[in-house]
A and B are shown apart, each in its own frame.
Chain A
Amino acid sequence: MKARVFITLKSGVLDPQGKAIHHALEGLGFSGVNDVRAGKLIELDLADGTADSEIEDMCRKLLANTVIENFRIERLENA
């Protein structure tokens, strides 16, 4: 089975990278963008039956820095 982990900066945490992307979009003439936040997507290929709690543990112990980041897990059951 596969799972995707989406890692995003917590709201309120300044995202200089998102800001730069925002400016670049405006520079290209896209005027309707209110805000940009950049994050990470990590794809995991896991042994069948891996428990949600174990994936959460992976996120807490390594994949996300919970001081500044949130994570969301999406399981792809048929992948």
Chain B
Amino acid sequence: MKSAVIVFPGSNCDRDLAVALELITGRKPAMVWHKETELPEGTEFIGVPGGFSYGDYLRSGAMAARSPVMRAVKDAADRGVPVIGICNGFQVLTEAGMLPGALMRNAGLSFICRPVPLRVENSQSLFTAQYDAGEEISFPVAHHDGNYQADETTLDRLEGEGRVAFRYLDQCNGSARSIAGILNDSGNVLGLMPHPERVVEPAHGGMDGRRLFEGLLETVA
């Protein structure tokens, strides 16, 4: 699988994601700087990593969402290329209008950094096919702005269309309906606050994130 990881000034999980992708797909991803206007020819998967792009200026993800490379990412997503936005990447995708809603300051105002239990709500997506519906897993979170909010109509639509991919088992940041991750309407764009790339080998203390990338590899390659 030919993957690309987008790098913004202030991204800091780009390397984690690259290491996980290389481990699981056997191929080093292309690291694509935000000033690029094109993705490498034949890119089959795009990762928008976590971090603090542009120092979270204005709003988390706001500046990154308007950077040149995001036009190419949007075009690729429109063509059906799978895109995952993790943590700051999720914020970037909502700011770019590729996913509905917004991520606001955690309700408790604290930065939270710990493994959290999640429930896989949809096991039919590109990203979650290797999990069982309702399965409980654990991914770490590390964020200050993970409080997912959208209007009631949008939330109802997300639930009704099976687009809530992951939900927190314990409310940790104030997210509406405990939403941890959502899919776009075509199902090829996933945004989530928890970090699957940080639980892919035994030394990480958990392996629950591995199947997300393995599932992708199986569908894409």
Residues of A within 8 A of B (CB): 13-14, 16-17, 20, 61-63, 65, 67-68
Contacts and interface: CB of A to CB of B under 8 A. Distances in A.
Nearest to B176: A14
Contacts of B150: 67
Q: Is the interface of B mostly helix, strand, loop or mixed?
A: loop
A65 B109 contact: no
A74 B118 CA distance: 45
12 contacts: A14-B174, A16-B107, A16-B174, A20-B109, A62-B66, A65-B59, A65-B62, A65-B95, A65-B102, A67-B149, A68-B102, A68-B149
A66 B91 CA distance: 14
Contacts of B149: 13-14, 67-68
B107 A14 contact: yes
Contacts, number: 36
Interface string B61-73: 0100010000000
A20 B58 CA distance: 20
A26 to B, nearest CB: 16
B58 A17 contact: no
Nearest to A61: B66
Interface residues of B, number: 19
A63 B109 contact: no
A39 to B, nearest CB: 12
Contact of B108 (A16, A62, A68): A16
B105 A62 contact: no
Contacts of B105: 16-17
A63 B58 contact: yes
B130 interface: no
Nearest to A9: B104
